[in-house]
Amino acid sequence: MAASASPAVDLSAALVLTPPPLGDWLVVLPVVLMIGTGALLMMVRKSVRLHGAIAIAALVMLVVLDAALLWRVSLHGPVTMVMGRWLPPYGIAFTADLFGAAMALAAAIAALAAGLFSLADIDAAGRRYGFYPFLMLLMAGVSGAFLTGDIFNLYVWFEVLLISSFGLLILGSEPRQIEGALKYALLNLIATTLFLIAVGILYAIFGTLNMADIATKARLAPPDAPLTTLTALFVLAFAMKAAAFPVNFWLPASYHTPRIVVSALFGGLLTKVGIYALIRVTIMLLPVEREALSFVIAVSAALTMLLGALGALAQMDTRRLIGYVVIAGIGNMMAGVAVGTPAAVGGAVLYALHSVITMTALYLMAGEAARIGGSWSLASLGGLYRRSPGFAAISFLLMLAAAGLPPLSGLWPKVALLKAALDIGAWWLAAAILVSAFLLTLALARVFLLAYWRPQPTPAVEQPCPTDWRITLPLAGLAVVTLVFGVFPEPVLRLSQAAADSLADPQAYINSVFPGGRVP
Amino acid sequence: MEALFAVLVGFFFAAAIYLMLSRHTVRILLGVALLGNGVNLLLFTTGRLVREVPPIIVAGQETLGTGAANPLPQALILTAIVISFSFFAFLLVLTYRAYQELGTDNSDRMRLSEPSDEPLPPMGY
């Protein structure tokens, strides 16, 4: 008998033999929940009336799971789970650290708000086209990207969220949607292809795809390895995903074409996934090479901020205006990557968390303004303050947050980034942050002036516009989140700083993947 | 052999970029398809091009010897082929629909969502 003849194989060298503690399942549960719910919604695709309730229940669950995961990570450090019980680096690892878990939680909150808003905004036709299944799969991709510990797996999650975003983008099949989707799809596909090229070269250099393993090996790499070229490819690919200058032009061409809920999800989540990957790769995996490219990243960051702010000033359509506000925010986060000190990365992480919440809320606000005022154009909007004072107050708070004015959450990341830029003597980067914030304040103040304070230009009949809890609740909820973290910033400041410190010194992350040290 | 393939990958990329710089969406699509194949070839080349040697790590060694091709990039290619094929299929349909709806395949004339004559917002009231 062959089995009895061969000596007992020691499986512990290849497999995880002890079952993981129950709490570790939190790393994969967000993705499992979203894919499972997506599949369930496909199965009941004929009963569209059930879709909304199922999706909202799943999104509430997602927020709870991500909050529990963040709680666990902040208490016990990074959590790792490997697929198929194979020991890393052979098994594909899911690793949640503070940065990933916090981003996943912010994304889940934004998605829940957008999901609530969609109950009022997405009609039966949109539901039949599959809005909710696509939303679930989009969130599976976003959560997977934030929680994975394997760089090829990150590429796969990018593709998952990209293909679901195509579905969401063309919901309704209007000509302008198809046109926007074409531009979006082509440029994002090229960006992920660049990412794939970089992953291939990275595997050729290091022989591993596990992020903890790469972080270890990159610090011991031979000096002739083409790591700076590799990092430049990664930066280009992620800058394209994040819509940084000069590869940002797909964003204002497409983000205003779909339903406003879809715009809100994209503006809040998708560009931030690009920034997340940029921070993960340049700060944690390849810090030495980031140093070499920091000037290029800084120039791109400054130009992105200024272009975003100037673009916002020139727009007539509120949705396109907010698209440029998103771009200006990307510039601020890139500035944190360019400076690269733990304080600066902390600022960038905080900005990313703030931006997920605020940009989603801004798009939803534009949607509600269009519902009340009947237009997307600043030329014909007007009188919103008179017609709905409560909504005007929420909008005012959100605009303050987006412009980075106290007492909202936009102030603190900008302060952190400014201080970090001045600390290393990059005064021109600090000046760009200030000028961009000033121009954004002008652009958003003009929206408030024209759409809210100005009397309605065309004297329309004052029909009462009933408030809808499905719209008011998410808007007010997001405004409260940004207000609370603006007034009591201590917990998030500490969280983002701890996240940045653990990115700069990923020993805890590596220990979580390789508990007994790196076993070859 | 690897050097030859590297040059071939370069030709693929050059042709793909040339096609993608075109104004016409069909050519851009062909460029995207070429780019995807170029990347697959690149991944394939990174794993060494050797035949008939089983990829088995010798006892006592930690990495694959230079005699065998690394099978992992080939697994990556399989994933990448599936993804790029499905994306290409989607893009084909999208381009066709865009041609139907907009009546043009010239990306310069696709200005429906970004009108070139949009006025600036009012300076005041």
Determine how many CB atoms are found less than 10 A away from the CB of residue B77.
Answer: 20
Which residue on chain A is closest to B102 by alpha carbon?
A: A175
Residue A323 pLDDT: 95
pLDDT category of residue B104 using cuts at 50, 70 and 90: confident
Contact B25 A454 (CB under 8 A): no
Q: In this predicted structure, which of A299-303, A440-444, A459-463, B14-18 has the lowest mean pLDDT?
A: A459-463
Q: Does B15 lie at the interface with A, CB-CB under 8 angstroms?
A: no
Please count the residues of chain B.
125
pLDDT band at A463 (very low <50, low <70, confident <90, very high): low
Using CB atoms within 10 Å of the CB of residue A371, give its burial: 0 to 12 exposed, 13 to 18 middle, 19+ buried. middle
The strand pair at A79-82 and A93-96 is best described as: antiparallel
What CA–CA distances, in Å, run from A81 to A84, A85, B58? 10, 8, 29
Is the model's pLDDT at B84 over the cut of 70?
yes
**Interface membership of A310 toward B (CB under 8 Å):** no
Using DSSP's 3-state secondary structure scheme, residue B52 falls into: coil
Give bridge partners of residue A82 from the DSSP assignment.
A93
Dmax (CA) for chain B in angstroms is: 81
Paired strand residues for A15:
A86
Which of A154, A179, A322 should one mutate to test binding to chain B, selecting the residue with the greatest count of B CBs within 10 A?
A179
Residue B2 has a pLDDT of: 85
**CA-based nearest residue to A238, from A155, A340, A142:** A155
Q: For A45-72, write each residue's pLDDT tens digit.
A: 888 889 999 999 999 999 999 999 999 9
In a domain, A393, yes or no: yes
Contact check, Cβ <8 Å, A200/B73: yes
Question: What is the residue whose two structure tokens read 């997001």?
Answer: A478
Residue A459's pLDDT is 60
Backbone angles phi, psi at A490, to 5 degrees: -55, -50
Cα separation of A320 and A327, whole Å?
Answer: 11
- B40 part of contact set with chain A, CB < 8 Å: no
Residue ranges of domains in chain B, CATH in brackets: 2-50+68-109 (1.10.287)
CB distance from B20 to chain A under 8 Å? yes
**Spatial CA neighbour of A499 closest among A349, A275, A354, A277:** A349
Alpha helices of chain B — where are they, by DSSP H?
A: 2-20, 25-46, 71-102
Indicate the pLDDT class of residue A462, thresholds 50, 70 and 90.
low
Residue A221 lies in a domain: yes
Cα pseudo-dihedral A192, A193, A195, A196, rounded to 10: 120
Looking at the structure of chain A, the number of domains it has is 1
Mean of all residue pLDDT scores within chain A: 91
Q: Indicate the residue type of B16.
A: A
pLDDT averaged over chain B? 89
Instruction: Tell me: pLDDT of A225 over 60.
Output: yes
Chain A residues touching B102 at Cβ < 8 A: 175, 178-179
Q: Tell me the mean pLDDT in the region B34-56.
A: 88
- Band the pLDDT of B120: cuts 50, 70, 90: confident
Q: How far apart are CA A378 and CA B124, in angstroms?
A: 11
In a domain, A448, yes or no: yes
Task: Report yes or no: B69 at the A interface, CB cutoff 8 Å.
Answer: no
Residue A15 within a domain: no
Domain contains A13: no
B113 and A176 within 8 Å at the Cβ level: the answer is: yes
Residue A16 lies in a domain: no
| ipTM score assigned to the predicted complex | 0.94
Q: Taking Cα atoms as reference points, which of A172, A24, A22 lies closest to residue A95?
A: A24
CA of A257 vs chain B CAs: smallest distance (Å)? 7
Query: CB distance B39–A200 less than 8 Å?
Result: yes
B115 touches chain A (CB under 8 A): no
DSSP states along A205-218: HHS--BHHHHHHHH
A60, A400, A435, A344 alpha-carbon torsion, rounded to 10°: -40
Chain A residues closer than 8 Å to B39 by CB: 193, 196-197, 200
Q: Which amino acid is at A71?
A: W
Q: Are A479 and A410 in contact (CB under 8 A)?
A: no
Residue A1 has pLDDT above 50, yes or no: no
A520, part of any domain: no
**Quick one: pLDDT at residue A222?**
80
Full domain range(s) for residue A229: 21-458+468-513
Q: What is the pTM of this model?
A: 0.94
Name the token pair of A474: 């998410």
Instruction: With cut-offs at 50, 70 and 90, classify the pLDDT of residue B97.
Output: very high
On the CB side of A403, CA atoms within 13 Å amount to: 23
Distance between CA atoms of residues A348 and A339, nearest Å: 10
Question: What radius of gyration do chain A's Cα atoms show?
Answer: 23
The CA distance from A86 to A93, in Å, is 9
Q: Is the pLDDT of residue A2 over 60?
A: no
pLDDT > 50? residue A251: yes
Considering only residues B115 and A152, tell me which one the structure prediction assigns the higher pLDDT.
A152
H or E segment to which residue A366 belongs: helix A342-373
Chain A residue numbers with beta carbons less than 8 Å from the beta carbon of B95 are 182
Ranking A196-205, A248-257, A364-373, B52-61 by mean pLDDT, the lowest is B52-61
What is d(CA B80, CA A284) in angstroms, rounded to the nearest whole number?
25
Largest CA distance in chain A: 93
In angstroms, the CA A115 to CA A473 distance is: 11
- Which phi-psi region, left, alpha or beta, contains residue A488 (left: φ > 0; alpha: ψ -120 to 50)? beta
Which chain B residues are within 8 Å of A201, Cβ to Cβ? 42, 46
What count of other Cβ atoms lies within 10 Å of the Cβ of residue A53? 11
Q: In whole angstroms, give the CA distance from residue B31 to residue B1.
A: 25
Q: Encode pLDDT of A317-370 as tens digits.
A: 999 999 999 999 999 999 999 999 999 999 999 999 999 999 999 999 999 999
Whether A1 maps to a domain, the answer reads no
Query: Which pLDDT score, from 0 to 100, does residue A499 have?
Result: 95
Q: Mind telling me how many Å the CA of B75 is from chain A's nearest CA?
A: 11
Question: Does position A500 have pLDDT exceeding 50, yes or no?
Answer: yes
Q: Residue A487 CB: number of other CB atoms within 10 A?
A: 11
| Inter-chain CB proximity B46 and A454 less than 8 Å | no
B78 vs A: CB within 8 A = no
Q: Is the Cβ of A175 closer than 8 Å to some Cβ of chain B?
A: yes
Contacts of B59 in chain A (CB under 8 A): none
| B61 has a chain A CB within 8 A of its CB | no
Q: Is B38 exposed, middle or buried (0-12, 13-18, 19+ CB in 10 A)?
A: buried
